[in-house]
């Protein structure tokens, strides 16, 4: 194939250790081990896609089999072995894709082939890509050979999912975790490629490519290839053109949107979002970018422009720094929780576009309520219960989110139920049994079932219940119970989860009581007399007669 007709990811694929970027520690370790003649039985390369796992495996194969030795590795004028490995035609270097050959029979053939020594090179090398795709039986068949292979046999594994590989295999390999390529290093790399290709791409457009690639060299080269093919030879690819090509929008629009949300200007917020949507930006992409912006607002004082992975330019970085000084951290955290919740909602709504608009409107209401809190911290309508939970239990976050979701409606609902609340005795629920009785009285059968069957009481106090639970507890239990307690007592209750086991559930207590009664009856003379006359009889239940005073 003509080299000029290749895609950039293949055309500029590293052919030696010197060509690799961002993996200096790995290169130095491997080179030193070969020089010291302490080559491991197997190498294991792991990391995200497109950072050079398979490429490194091939370069290691060249380093082990180069005719000139490790100290004089081929760079330009390749020896016979290096040339054959580069072309994937070396008889002693077998590259296998575990995604297509996953079975134990494939590994057995490999082991059978390994019994014969190398033909023209020093080592016979098996490169297995995506090794985590091998079956459990295939891994087991490989174990013995992997631990004690012949001196001439070496394995090189590559995988993106190290956790799927049995630990017995990992422990027999020398593992190397290839890191993501740093933004500045990747920027300089693709800028050189752009110059070699005589491409006209602005630095801001290149920085957008770096951001989208997330540290993957292959992704960055593929995006650059696409960008260079999208415009005429005499036209420069600027940031605006790159955003249209890759479906990304100007971050300054998002900063303007955030500022308007804080100011409560609903019409302008919706208009800006609709312009962003018209640019072809997907709702999920919008939410993820919004989350990224919230992170920058919260942590901007501890960040530098370079650490933002080129997501921001100088002007945007300065604007975020100025705005963040005027925003309460609690508001940002509440916005974050709302955005995460809305991201989950997108999977269940049919019109995601409308869902995003409602999400932005809710943020404006939340922001305005939060602002009122600073003027009156003692009112019943404050956001104290909607703030981030202070409890160390991680599960309380769910409760907080549910409370946040309802806080905007609370002011409207409260006047409607005020009369009902006044009619309710606030001391109605003072114990766990009172709570069960209230569920029965209000005909909340499902809630009572959860309390009796799946809940273990740890501690009961006024306006606070601490529980543990089993795996069958309904996911909406906390939200439902909190809502009903507020409805019945007119007061907010805090439901917390505890690591303590707590008391037995009500159903367990009833079951134990029943077993005690049955055992007691079985020890009675009446039961023994009945069994003598009816040997096949079986006692299944006991009911006590209640005597009236």
Q: Does residue 256 have a pLDDT over 50?
A: yes
**Number of structural domains found in the chain:** 4
Whether residue 55 is found in the same domain as residue 16: yes
pLDDT in tens, 311-361: 666 777 788 888 888 888 888 888 888 889 888 888 888 888 888 999 898
Among candidate residues 161, 177, 193, the one where a domain is terminated: 177
Question: Is residue 369 domain-shared with residue 282, that is, in the same domain?
Answer: yes
* pLDDT reading at 544 higher than 80: no
**Where among 223, 246, 269 does a domain terminate?**
246
Q: Over the range 7-22, which residues count as b (16 or more CB within 10 Å of their CB) and which as e?
A: ebbebbbbbbbeebbb
Are both 232 and 349 inside the same structural domain? Answer: no
Question: Is the model's pLDDT at 306 over the cut of 80?
Answer: no
Q: Determine, yes or no, domain membership for 545.
A: no
CATH number at residue 427: 3.30.300
Indicate the pLDDT class of residue 181, thresholds 50, 70 and 90: confident
Beta bridge partners of 94: 126
Residues 290 and 431 in one domain: no
The pLDDT value recorded for residue 153 is 92
The answer to the question of residue 282 being in a domain is: yes
- Percentage of the chain lying above the pLDDT 70 cut: 84
More confident: 486 or 312: 486
The 3-state secondary structure of 445-490 reads HHHHHHHHHCEEEEEEECCEEEEEECCCCCCCHHHHHHHHHHHHHC
- Per-residue confidence band for 305, with pLDDT thresholds at 50, 70 and 90: low
Q: In the predicted model, what is the mean pLDDT of residues 58-68?
A: 91
Q: Is residue 273 part of a domain?
A: yes
Locus of tokens 């069958």: 472
DSSP 64-89: HH-TT-GGG--SSS--HHHHHHHTT-
Same domain, 257 and 275: yes
Q: Is the model more confident about 151 or about 500?
A: 151
Taking a C-beta distance cutoff of 8 angstroms, is the pair 150, 42 a contact? no
The whole-number pLDDT of residue 307 equals: 62
Separation between Cα atoms, residue 45 and residue 61, nearest integer Å: 13
Instruction: Write the CATH number for 354.
Output: 1.20.272.10
Average predicted confidence (pLDDT) for the chain: 81
* Angle, CA 494 vertex, CA 489 and CA 498 arms, to 5°: 140
45 and 94 both lie in a single domain: yes
Select the more confidently predicted residue: 325 or 415. Answer: 325
Domain enclosing residue 447, as ranges: 396-497
Angstrom distance (rounded) from CA 195 to CA 190: 9
Residues 198 and 269 in one domain: no
Res. 192 pLDDT band, cuts 50 70 90: very high
Of the candidates 361, 358, 339, which has an alpha carbon nearest to the alpha carbon of residue 285? 339
> What confidence score (pLDDT) does residue 217 get?
92
**What phi-psi label fits residue 88: left (phi over 0), alpha (psi between -120 and 50 degrees) or beta?**
left
pTM here is 0.58
Do 173 and 191 have their domain in common? no
Give residue-wise pLDDT tens across range 396-405.
Answer: 444 444 444 4
In a domain, 18, yes or no: yes
**Same structural domain, 343 and 449:** no
Place of tokens 């650059």: 224
C-alpha 42/C-alpha 143 separation (Å) is: 11
Contacts of 248 (CB under 8 A, 6+ apart): 208, 212, 242, 281, 285
pLDDT at 537 over 70: yes
Tell whether the model's pLDDT for residue 177 goes beyond 50.
yes
> What CATH code is carried by the domain that includes residue 190?
1.10.8.60
Are 170 and 198 in a shared domain?
Answer: no
Q: What is the pLDDT, as a whole number, of residue 311?
A: 65
User: Does 388 map to a domain?
Assistant: no
Instruction: Determine, yes or no, domain membership for 84.
Output: yes
* Domain identity same for 325 and 192: no
Q: Which CATH number is 119's domain given? A: 3.40.50.300
pLDDT at 416: 43
The pLDDT of 429-453, averaged and rounded, is 85
Q: How confident is the model at residue 243 (pLDDT cuts 50, 70, 90)?
A: confident
pLDDT digits 0-9 by tens, 99-108? 888 888 888 8
Listed residues 206, 231, 246: the one ending a domain: 246
Identify the pLDDT of residue 313: 67
- Considering 86-90, 228-232, 298-302, 405-409, the range whose residues carry the highest mean pLDDT is 86-90
Is 425 in the same domain as 451? yes
Q: What percent of the chain has pLDDT over 90?
A: 16
Structure confidence at residue 367 (pLDDT): 58
Examine the pLDDT at 371 and tell me if it is beyond 90.
Answer: no
Q: Is residue 519 one of the residues assigned to a domain?
A: no
- pLDDT higher than 60, residue 496: yes
Q: What's the whole-number mean pLDDT along residues 451-465?
A: 86
**Cβ burial, residue 418 (10 Å; 0-12/13-18/19+):** exposed
Classify residue 505: in a domain, yes or no.
no
- Read off the tokens for 519: 């055992």
């Amino acid at each position: 194939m003509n080299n000029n007709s290749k895609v950039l990811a293949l055309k500029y694929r590293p052919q030696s250790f010197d060509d690799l970027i961002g993996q200096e520690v790995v290169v130095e370790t491997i080179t030193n081990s070969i020089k010291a003649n302490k080559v491991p039985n197997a190498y294991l390369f792991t990391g995200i896609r497109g950072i050079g796992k398979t490429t490194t495996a091939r370069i290691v194969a060249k380093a082990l089999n180069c005719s000139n030795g490790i100290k004089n590795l081929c760079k330009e004028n390749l020896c016979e072995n290096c040339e054959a490995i580069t072309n994937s035609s070396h008889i002693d270097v077998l590259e296998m894709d575990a995604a297509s050959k996953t079975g134990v029979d494939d590994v057995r053939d490999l082991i059978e082939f390994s019994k014969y020594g190398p033909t023209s090179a020093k080592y016979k090398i098996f490169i297995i890509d995506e090794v985590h795709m091998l079956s459990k039986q295939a891994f087991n068949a490989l174990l013995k050979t992997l631990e004690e292979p012949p001196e001439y046999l070496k394995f090189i594994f590559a995988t993106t999912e190290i956790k799927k590989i049995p630990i017995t295999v990992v422990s027999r390999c020398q593992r190397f975790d290839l890191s993501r390529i740093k933004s500045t290093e990747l920027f300089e790399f693709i800028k050189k490629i752009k110059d070699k290709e005589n491409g006209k791409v602005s630095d801001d457009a290149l920085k957008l490519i770096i951001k989208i690639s997330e540290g993957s060299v292959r992704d960055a080269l593929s995006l650059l290839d696409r960008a260079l093919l999208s415009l005429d030879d005499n036209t420069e690819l600027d940031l605006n053109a790159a955003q249209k090509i890759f479906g990304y929008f100007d971050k300054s629009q998002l900063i303007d949107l955030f500022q308007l949300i804080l100011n409560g200007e609903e019409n302008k917020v919706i208009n800006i979002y609709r312009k962003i949507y018209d640019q072809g930006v997907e709702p999920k992409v919008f939410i993820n970018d919004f989350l990224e912006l919230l992170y920058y607002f919260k942590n901007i004082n501890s960040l530098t422009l370079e650490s933002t992975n080129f997501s921001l330019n100088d002007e945007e970085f300065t604007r975020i720094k100025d705005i963040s000084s005027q925003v309460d951290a609690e508001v940002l955290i509440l916005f974050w929780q709302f955005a995460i919740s809305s991201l989950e909602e997108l999977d269940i709504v049919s019109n995601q576009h409308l869902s995003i608009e409602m999400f932005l409107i809710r943020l404006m209401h939340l922001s305005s309520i939060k602002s009122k809190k600073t003027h009156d911290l003692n009112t019943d309508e404050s956001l104290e219960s909607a703030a981030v939970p202070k409890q160390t239990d991680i599960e309380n976050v769910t409760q907080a989110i549910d409370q946040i979701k309802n806080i905007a409606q609370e002011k409207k609902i409260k006047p409607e139920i005020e009369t009902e609340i006044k009619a309710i005795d606030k001391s109605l629920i003072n114990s766990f049994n009172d709570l069960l009785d209230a569920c029965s009285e209000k005909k909340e059968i499902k809630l009572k079932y959860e309390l009796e069957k799946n809940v273990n009481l740890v501690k009961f106090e006024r306006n606070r219940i601490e529980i543990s639970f089993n795996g069958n507890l309904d996911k909406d239990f906390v939200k439902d119970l909190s809502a009903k307690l507020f409805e019945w007592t007119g007061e907010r209750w805090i439901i917390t989860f505890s690591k303590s086991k707590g008391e037995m559930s009500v159903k367990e207590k009833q079951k134990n009581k029943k077993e005690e009664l049955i055992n007691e009856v079985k020890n009675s003379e009446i039961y023994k007399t009945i069994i003598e006359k009816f040997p096949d009889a079986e006692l299944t239940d006991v009911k006590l007669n209640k005597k009236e005073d």
